[in-house]
């Protein structure tokens, strides 16, 4: 069953599980759309998509008319999708905007990704041989400083919605996302999979800002939490997310009864 974070008469915001495609397609076995339609008993329309291995907030409409309206709201920049990623290396600046154009098919399209470096932690040798780590902290047997890699936790906000935009911009700027099997560092991904349990893409759509609703929060994916817990200096998400969302403690405000259906939970919002 897919968790519903918010719904009204027009849309659903769901907590997309990792490993599930957003919508049906050739070769796709199961998707958010097919699972939700079976769960709810009516047709749903995705407003945007998340990569199969990205978990978190995703919007779907309850009708084609609502889908058209909310697609316009997204394109007008009235909503803000917020992501966290664990990167190999780190952005040079604490915050900034990547505006590198991205090629989609025959077209070169403008793309805008705002970033904020939240934390830098870890440390392991860039050498091919395995190193001993104490709870995956900095090893005493690490290689030369020039060969040492660190990790970073980076927040992103999208100004455009190009395919794999965050993943591509991160790779282009020298800090690919851990577990990215398409644009990432394959050698270091292999090491982190073996030594630190990084078996999936470490990109999470943690929050969604909707007009007049504040920030809707998704649950931290278990694989994301597990990876961060293995590093001594990594931040704890339970204390970090309230800070990023601009509130001391995320709250729960119930919607009117007629805006919900069945046993679905009320909206999780930050006032």
Domain 3-270: give its CATH code. 3.30.2350.10
- Number of other CB atoms surrounding residue 188 within 10 Å: 17
Q: Is 19 helix (H, G, I), strand (E, B) or coil?
A: coil
C-alpha–C-alpha distance, residues 55 and 17, integer Å: 5
Kindly name the residue from 15, 51, 53, 185 that is annotated as catalytic: 51
Token digits of residue 84: 């966290």
Domain ranges of the chain: 3-270
Q: Residue 216: beta bridge partners?
A: 208, 269
The whole-model pTM stands at 0.81
Task: Give the model's pLDDT for residue 161.
Answer: 85
Contact 12, 4 (CB under 8 A): yes
C-alpha–C-alpha distance, residues 16 and 9, integer Å: 20
Tens of pLDDT along the chain (271 residues)?
A: 999 999 999 999 999 999 999 877 666 678 999 999 999 999 999 999 999 999 999 999 999 999 999 999 888 878 889 999 999 999 999 999 999 999 888 899 999 999 999 999 876 655 433 333 333 333 333 333 444 578 999 999 998 888 899 999 999 999 999 999 999 999 989 999 998 889 999 999 999 998 888 899 999 999 999 999 988 889 999 889 988 887 433 333 333 333 333 333 333 322 2
Contact 79, 31 (CB under 8 A): no
State yes or no: is 185 an active-site residue.
no
Task: Give the model's pLDDT for residue 75.
Answer: 84
């Amino acid at each position: 069953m897919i968790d519903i974070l918010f719904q009204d008469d027009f849309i659903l915001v769901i907590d997309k599980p990792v490993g599930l495609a957003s919508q049906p397609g050739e070769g796709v076995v199961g998707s958010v759309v097919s699972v939700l339609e079976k769960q709810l008993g009516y047709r749903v329309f995705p407003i945007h998509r998340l990569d199969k291995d990205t978990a978190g907030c995703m919007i779907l409409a309850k009708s084609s008319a609502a889908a058209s309206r909310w697609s316009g709201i997204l394109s007008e920049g009235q909503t803000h999708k917020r992501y966290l990623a664990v990167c190999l290396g780190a952005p040079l600046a604490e915050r900034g905007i990547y505006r590198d154009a991205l090629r989609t098919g025959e077209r070169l399209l403008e793309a805008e990704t705002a970033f904020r470096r939240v934390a830098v932690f870890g440390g392991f040798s860039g050498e091919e041989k395995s190193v001993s780590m104490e709870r995956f902290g900095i090893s005493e047997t690490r290689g030369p400083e020039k060969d040492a890699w660190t990790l970073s936790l980076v927040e992103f906000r999208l100004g455009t919605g190009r395919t794999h935009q965050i993943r591509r911009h991160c790779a282009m700027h020298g800090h690919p996302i851990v577990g990215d099997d398409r644009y990432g560092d394959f050698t270091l991904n292999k090491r982190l999979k073996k030594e630190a349990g990084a078996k999936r893409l470490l990109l999470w759509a943690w929050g969604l800002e909707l007009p007049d609703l504040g920030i809707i929060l998704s649950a931290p994916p278990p694989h994301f939490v597990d990876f961060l817990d293995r590093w001594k200096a990594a931040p704890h998400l339970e204390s970090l997310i309230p800070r990023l969302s601009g509130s001391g403690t995320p709250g729960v405000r119930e919607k009117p009864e007629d805006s919900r259906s069945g046993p679905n939970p009320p909206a999780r919002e930050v006032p």
